[in-house]
Structure 1
C-alpha cells in the first residue's frame, strides 16, 4: 500500500512539474486563438438564446467575464428536433469558450447584436432588395436554420485560415479539434437546408437554395474574396467547383477543387461579421467591434500592435 501511495505521489508531482515547465504559447498563437473567441461568443449566444431563450449569463456567467449582454436574442419557435440539435450546438460552443480560455486566456464577451432587425438587414443586403415582411430568424425552423447558415461557416474558414500561422503543437491540436466540431455543425445545418432546398420560406417567393446562394455571394463580396463560399445547391450552368467526379446538384460540404476547406484571414472575417466590408468599420453582429489584439489593430484610435507577421 505504501509503495502504491509513493508511486501516485511522485507521478502527480512529476505531472505538475511538467505542466509548470510547459512553455507558454507564442504571442502570435495567443492572438490568433483569442480572435476566434469573438465568433465562439457569437455562436454560443445565438444558439443558446435560440434554443433556450437565455444565454451565457445564465448558463455559465463566468465565461462572459462581465461583458455586455447580447442585444435582441430570443427563443425561437422550433420543432423538438431542431431545438435539440441547436441545444447540442450551444453547449459545444460553451465548451469551445472554456477550451480557448484555458489555453490562452480570454477577454469579456463583446457586445453582440442578435436582433431580428440585424438579420433582416443582412438578408436584404444579400438579396439586393428588402424582404416584406422583414426576415425574422426566430419564427420557424426554416428561418432559424437559414440564420444559422450565416454564422458557423465563418468560424470554420477562420480556423482553417489560422492553422498555417500557428507554432505551438498544443495550440495546433486545439485548433484542429475546434475546426472539426465547427465543420460538423456546418454540415448538419447545410444538410437540413439541402433537404428543404426547394421550399420557399413563408411568405417569400425565393427558395432556400437561392437564399443560401445569395448569402454565400454576400459573404464573398463583403470579404473581398471571389470564390470561398457557395450555397447548398450548385447553381447551373456553371460548375462552381470543377470536381473531377462530375456534376453534382448538392453541396452539403463546401470546399475547393480538391474538396479542401476554404480559409479566411482575420481581416476577411471582420469584414463579414461587421457587415460593412471593411475591417475597420464596425457594425453587424459586433456594433462596438470585436475584441482581442487581432481585431483591435484595425480599429482607429486603439493603438494596438500585433505580434503576428502580416496575414
Structure 2
C-alpha cells in the first residue's frame, strides 16, 4: 500500500524537478549595449581562430591594442591550408579585427576572454558530436578539410546571436544598423564555409570512415543538444521535409521552413560555446567564462 504512494510522490517530484531545471529558451532582459557587447565574445573567438589558422599569429601581433588585458588563446596555431582557403581565412581574420574594433569603439569592450583553441579541445568537441572517441584524435589544424569542419562550428553561432539580438534592441536606428552590418558579414562567412564544405560533402574522412556531410550533421545535432531549445542548426544534407520548400536534400544555407535564419538567445549561445548545456557552467572554447555583463550575470547565479 505504501509502495504505490511513494512511486506517485517520486514521479511528481521528478516531473517538478524537470520543470524547474528546464532550460531558458525565452528572451532575456538586457540593455542594447550589453546585447551587442555579448557578441564581442564570438568576435574575439573568430578573430583568433582565423588569424592563427591562416597566419600563425593572432590579435597580439595583428592588432595588439585589442588584445590588451586578456590572455592569449591556448593552443592556436597555423593550419595546413591550401593556398585558396588560406587567403579566404586570412580575409576572414582581418574582417573579425574590424568587427572587434567596431563594437569596442561604438559601445564599449572588455578584455579578451581566455580562449581554448587547442587541438585537444576540438578533439573533445568532435568526439561528443560523433558519440565515440575518434582515433587518431581530430586535429583542426591538420589540413584544409579539417580546418573547414572546425570553422563550421564557429561563425554560424555568431550569426544566430546577431539574428536573435535585432528584434530585442530598443534603439532601432543606430545600433540596429551596426548589428545588421555585422550580421551581413557573419552570414557571408558562414555561407562560404558551408559552400566549401559542400564541395567536399561526399569526401570520406579517413581513417574515421565518415563523410564530410555526416560530420556536419553530427556537429549541428550536437549544437542543438547543447543549446537545448529545439532544432536551429542543420547539416549540409537534410531530409526533404527540412529542405527549401520541401524540395531539396542539399542544405548549403541552414534556415527554417520559410528559409529565414534561425536565432538564438545569449543563454543558448553560452551553452554551446561552453559545451556544457548550461549558461552557468564554463568550459569548452571559453574555459574561464565569456566576458561582459550578460555572461557574468549567469555565472553569478552559481
TM-score by length of 1: 0.85
Residue of structure 2 in register with 1:282 after alignment: 282
Residue of structure 2 in register with 1:202 after alignment: 206
Gaps of 5+ in 1: 1-26, 303-311
- Equivalent of residue 143 in structure 1, options 146, 157, 160: 146
Residue 210 of structure 2: SS of its match in structure 1? coil
For residues 66 and 124 of structure 1, the distance between their equivalents in structure 2, rounded to whole angstroms, comes to 33
Residue of structure 2 in register with 1:102 after alignment: 105
Residue of structure 2 in register with 1:170 after alignment: 174
Residue of structure 1 in register with 2:24 after alignment: none
For residues 247 and 240 of structure 1, the distance between their equivalents in structure 2, rounded to whole angstroms, comes to 9
Runs of 4+ in structure 1 deviating by more than 3 angstroms, as ranges, are none
For residues 179 and 97 of structure 1, the distance between their equivalents in structure 2, rounded to whole angstroms, comes to 13
Confirm or deny: 8 A CA contact 1:65 1:107 kept in the other structure.
Answer: no
Q: How does 1:45-84 map to 2 (within 5 A)?
A: 45-84=48-87
1:214 maps to 2:214: no
RMSD: 1.2
Alignment size in residue pairs = 272
- Of stretches 177-186 and 202-211 in structure 1, the one that deviates more from structure 2 is 202-211
- Of stretches 63-72 and 110-119 in structure 1, the one that deviates more from structure 2 is 63-72
Q: CA deviation at 1:65?
A: 2.3
For residues 167 and 68 of structure 2, the distance between their equivalents in structure 1, rounded to whole angstroms, comes to 30
Confirm or deny: 8 A CA contact 2:37 2:103 kept in the other structure.
Answer: yes
For residues 58 and 86 of structure 2, the distance between their equivalents in structure 1, rounded to whole angstroms, comes to 15
Q: How does 1:203-282 map to 2 (within 5 A)?
A: 203-234=207-238, 236=239, 239-241=241-243, 243-244=244-245, 246-282=246-282
For residues 138 and 185 of structure 1, the distance between their equivalents in structure 2, rounded to whole angstroms, comes to 19
Q: Deviations over 1:108-166 (max 9, x none)?
A: 10000000000000000011101000000001000000000000000000000001111
TM-score by length of 2: 0.88
- Equivalent of residue 128 in structure 1, options 106, 131, 134: 131
For residues 68 and 170 of structure 2, the distance between their equivalents in structure 1, rounded to whole angstroms, comes to 28
Q: CA deviation at 1:201?
A: 2.0
For residues 200 and 226 of structure 1, the distance between their equivalents in structure 2, rounded to whole angstroms, comes to 29
Gaps of 5+ in 2: 1-29
For residues 202 and 65 of structure 1, the distance between their equivalents in structure 2, rounded to whole angstroms, comes to 41
